[in-house]
Amino acid sequence: MRMLDVAAGNIRVAIPSDASAIAEVYVETWRAAYAGILPDRTLVRMSVASQIRQWRSLLNAGDAVLVVTDGAEIVGFGGYGPNRERNLPYSGEVYTLYVSPDYQNQGLGRRLLRAMFKALQRDGHESAIIWVLAENPSRFFYECEGGAKIADRNEFLWGVSVRELGYGWSFLSLGAA
């Protein structure tokens, strides 16, 4: 594990040239987090090259992403915006949150989540939802951060059917101290 002075871990808005570093963190963290949860073939098939293309196009399109850095290195990131599932009474959504395995459990995920909640509030969202795989232990992180389990759904993702849980924050102003 690489220890980082959490206060020094810097959070900033991502720019299109961050696409490759974000893709590297995404693939590395995704494979570590979902081993044993998603089929091996799904984990192996994921490629950094295709993720770079996807993140570059999202960032060029103006999608909101925050990154946390250790010096010049991106070690975590999160994406957010309007809730994509209109039938749930939550205005904002955190789409992604990934902290590189070497930097987990040092408070960076919490700082990124709170920074995204503040950014959502600035964009006019008072509530937010996050979807997480039911089998992913990171759901306990969302419970620690005050999220309430408010929904579940089955999604066909990455070639398999998976159960997801929705965690909701009704008042970001209370949860984003």
Ligand X SMILES: CC(C)(COP(=O)(O)OP(=O)(O)OC[C@H]1O[C@@H](n2cnc3c(N)ncnc32)[C@H](O)[C@@H]1OP(=O)(O)O)[C@@H](O)C(=O)NCCC(=O)NCCS
Residues forming contacts to ligand X in the complex (CB under 6 A) are 29, 33, 97-99, 104-110, 132, 136-138, 140-141, 144
Residue nearest to ligand X (CB): 109
Q: Cβ distance 9 to 69 under 8 Å?
A: yes
Task: State the nearest-atom distance from the C-beta of 86 to ligand X, in Å.
Answer: 20
Nearer to ligand X, 15 or 35 (CB): 35
Task: State the nearest-atom distance from the C-beta of 140 to ligand X, in Å.
Answer: 3
Nearer to ligand X, 103 or 172 (CB): 103
N residues, the chain: 177
Rounded Cα distance between 7 and 91, Å, is: 30
Residue 87 tokens, joined:
């039938």
Task: State the nearest-atom distance from the C-beta of 56 to ligand X, in Å.
Answer: 21
Rounded Cα distance between 170 and 148, Å, is: 9
Nearer to ligand X, 60 or 84 (CB): 84
Residue 40 tokens, joined:
């091996």
Nearer to ligand X, 35 or 124 (CB): 35
CA angle 95, 26, 98 (to 5 degrees): 55
